[in-house]
Chains A and B, each alone.
Chain A
Amino acid sequence: MSVLNPPRSAGTRRPSGPVGAGGHFSAWANRHRKWLFAAPAMIFVGVLIVFPLAWTVYLSLTDSQGSVRAATDFIGLQNYITVLTDTERFWPAVGRTLAFTGVALAFEVVLGMCVALLLWRPFRGEKWVRVAILLPLVATPVAVGMMWRLIFDPNIGFANQLLGMVGIPPQPWLSGQDTALGTTIFMDVWQWTPMVVLILLAGLTSLSDEPDEAARVDGANAFQRFFFITLPLMMPTVIVAILLRGIDALKTFDILYATKGKGGGSFHEVETLNVYAYGLSFDYNQYGLSSAVLILFFMIIIGTMWLLTMRKKAVSK
């Protein structure tokens, strides 16, 4: 409850009487408004995020397991050694996380750019297309997972019916050991390409028409204009889209857990780092080990972000 207090105290600190009414408090509040305004949010973030993160670092150095209340021993870097030499669960999970993110992002950016270009110039019925783009984006991921479970059901699903119409034999989709990860990538592409479209479209509409017009006058065709004019100008926006979407794709959990359940399926076929860490923590109560996985996972995310930010700086110049 104590954490709930800052908003209330922040409210009472603002001058409640007539504006501009003097008084020491009002003068003091105005002088220190920078920290007065920022402090409640920062304290909230500090208590709920920085402290738990520090605790995760501590836990990763102990053998904490079973009950969180059980006595733990400090075991140094033992968990990290266990995790980093684990070729059965950890490294495959790293591979799946990177494959899921990389493939999904590649599809989302290429398709997203195509759709954004289609939507760029105004046309009749634009409204309806925009609605269609918005709906997958706001749909609850768990519900979306359940929806795809039915569509990709090997026996009664619509996906296999559709394949049957063009003479392709039915596929196991989510229940196949080799096809499950690809199917979840497809779901991610369906739900999040619209996000990329919106970001890229915002970028396209903010571009000036002049370079494109000049190239047109010089006789460049549509493809030349896109690859030599529009795309280079759009690069910073493309990288922002990759950055925003990439962070979320690396952390994908809902659709994977909703479609394949604990451990990413019986053969761990969709077990990414986030699913693995969740399972270690809350299905197996291996807090020490899971904390080490999480710290490594966090480093992967930060590393990816850093690389992309560097790239963006280089492109923006």
Chain B
Amino acid sequence: MTVVTDSTTAAAQRTRRRRKPLATRAYKVFRVVALILVVLFLLAPLFWMLLASLKTNVDIYDTGKALLFSPTFENYANVLQRNNYFVFIFNSFWVAFVSTALSIVLGVPAAYAMSRFTMHRSALVVLMARVIPGVSLLVPWYYVFSNLRMVGKFEVLILSHMFVALPLIVYIMMSYFDSLPLELEESAEVDGLTPIGAFRLITLPLAVSGIATAGILSFIFSWNNFMFALVLSGSKTKTLPVAIFDFVSYASIDWGGLMAAATVVTIPIMIIALFTQKYIVSGLTAGATKG
């Protein structure tokens, strides 16, 4: 009996040993194919947009010239010159930059206090801003700012974008400060620094990568923001997303121009994302894996 069982288990082990590499190899092939499909699914539409932006409108309507066509930069020239997109690019950049900078100045100390003194209820108030539908704030804002004759000014746009940026920065920085050890500050205070001095000279320099994470994400969200600018921007402060939206309100769609405009908006943010990939990923997943 024992001999039989031994031989069967040995046989089973042998088949398992033989099968296992086969299974892992099959999985490896499956994984490569699946990942290629995922990448195609994610990139093909963007590639299509880029191609269309390099086509004349005649070529866009010719389905036979889907991939083979003579590229032209005419659409970009039109968009950038005739439609004054340089102004919109500057507006978008300025609003995103200032709202991010101000949110960091306000948000980082607040996140520090909320993390170190575990001010959960105060944190909740700030984080509520992530939940509230933006439209419910726009009506009162529009009322107040139009009475102050400020609708269409940069200050108003920047303030409205800070509404998105500040909670985001507080949220990311809180989980960042939570992960920084308290001992460093304590020993700095033993060595004679004041608590604020310890924050400024010890904690803040350690938090630079966290601040970069929060800042980059807040810049991206502000650059992409559409609804606030749709209501609160004027002809001089129009940002890129609103400029693109206005592109289609004409009678017939100039597809080539529209795709060039869409590419102009997305390219800068994608380049930033490529160089700051690690920060973006850590920012988006901040606090997500805590219990």
Chain A residues within CB distance 8 Å of chain B:
1, 3-4, 6-7, 10-11, 14-15, 19-20, 26, 29-30, 33-38, 40-42, 44-46, 48-53, 55-56, 59, 68-69, 114-115, 118-119, 123, 128-144, 146-151, 156, 158, 161, 190, 194-195, 198-199, 201-203, 206, 222, 236-237, 240-241, 244, 247, 251, 253-254, 257-258, 274, 277-278, 281-282, 287, 290-291, 294-295, 297-298, 301-302, 305, 316
Contacts and interface: CB of A to CB of B under 8 A. Distances in A.
Given A42-B126, A290-B139, A20 B38 contact: no
Given A34-B113, A136-B42, A294 B135 contact: yes
Given A141-B226, A251-B133, A30 B195 contact: yes
Contact of A37 (B110, B129, B269): B110
Given A26-B194, A55-B140, A134-B280, A140 B130 contact: no
Given A37-B112, A206-B289, A29 B49 contact: no
A257 B230 CA distance: 11
A119 B105 CA distance: 37
A3 B159 contact: yes
Given A56-B139, A137-B284, A150-B60, 4 more contacts: A140-B223, A144-B266, A202-B281, A247-B131
Given A132-B38, A240-B288, A38 B259 contact: no
Interface stretch (B3-11, B68-76, B207-215, B238-246): B238-246
Interface of B: 27, 31, 34-35, 38-39, 41-43, 45-46, 48-49, 52, 60-61, 63, 66, 102, 105-107, 109-110, 112-114, 116-117, 119, 122, 125-126, 128-143, 146-147, 155, 159, 162-163, 166-167, 170, 192-197, 199-201, 220, 223-224, 226-227, 230-231, 240-241, 244-245, 247-248, 253, 255, 258-259, 261-263, 265-266, 269-270, 272-274, 277, 280-281, 284-285, 287-289, 291
Contacts of B34: 114, 118
A16 to B, nearest CB: 10
B274 A131 contact: yes
A316 B155 contact: no
Contact of A150 (B142, B155, B258, B272): B258
Contact of B46 (A7, A29, A128, A136): A136
21 contacts: A20-B197, A30-B195, A33-B199, A37-B109, A40-B110, A49-B128, A49-B132, A52-B137, A135-B42, A135-B273, A143-B265, A146-B262, A147-B46, A147-B49, A147-B262, A149-B248, A161-B63, A202-B281, A277-B135, A294-B135, A302-B131
Majority secondary structure, B binding face: helix
Contacts, number: 303
A155 to B, nearest CB: 8
A310 B110 CA distance: 28
Contacts of A277: 133, 135-136
A140 B240 contact: yes
B273 to A, nearest CB: 4
A2 B86 CA distance: 31
Given A53-B137, A150-B258, A298-B136, A143 B244 contact: yes
A285 B142 CA distance: 12
